[in-house]
């Protein structure tokens, strides 16, 4: 595992998935959920996947860790 950011292309994701990640956020400064994120940057760090951008309300950096759902119905 690398302890340096390894950039990925957020825009390789389909539009629906991008929108979900950009809308489902938490801002520590505003202390509110789902305010939205602008200027997304997707990266891996220490084997974990993140999307980071700016809160659409206050401009504070917001970071979302993406966790794969291993619970598959079927």
Please report where in the chains the tokens 């200027």 appear, as a residue.
39
**What is residue 2's predicted lDDT score, i.e. its pLDDT?**
65
Whether 35 is covered by a domain: the verdict is yes
Average pLDDT over residues 39-65: 96
**What is residue 53's predicted lDDT score, i.e. its pLDDT?**
98
Q: How far apart are CA 59 and CA 74, in angstroms?
A: 41
Least confident of 32-36, 57-61, 68-72: 68-72
Total number of domains constituting the chain: 1
Q: What is the pLDDT of residues 11-51, one digit of tens each?
A: 999 999 999 999 999 999 999 999 999 999 999 999 999 99
Domain that holds residue 59: 6-66
Whether 21 is covered by a domain: the verdict is yes
How far, CA to CA in Å, does 36 sit from each of 39, 46, 62? 10, 25, 9
Whether 26 is covered by a domain: the verdict is yes
Task: Supply the pTM of this predicted model.
Answer: 0.82
């Amino acid at each position: 595992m690398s302890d340096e950011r390894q950039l990925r292309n957020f825009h390789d994701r389909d539009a629906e998935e991008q929108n979900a990640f950009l809308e489902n956020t938490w801002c520590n400064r505003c202390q509110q959920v789902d305010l939205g994120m602008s200027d997304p940057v997707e990266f891996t760090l220490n084997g974990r996947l993140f999307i980071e951008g700016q809160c659409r309300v206050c401009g504070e950096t917001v970071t979302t860790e993406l966790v794969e759902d291993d619970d598959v119905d079927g």
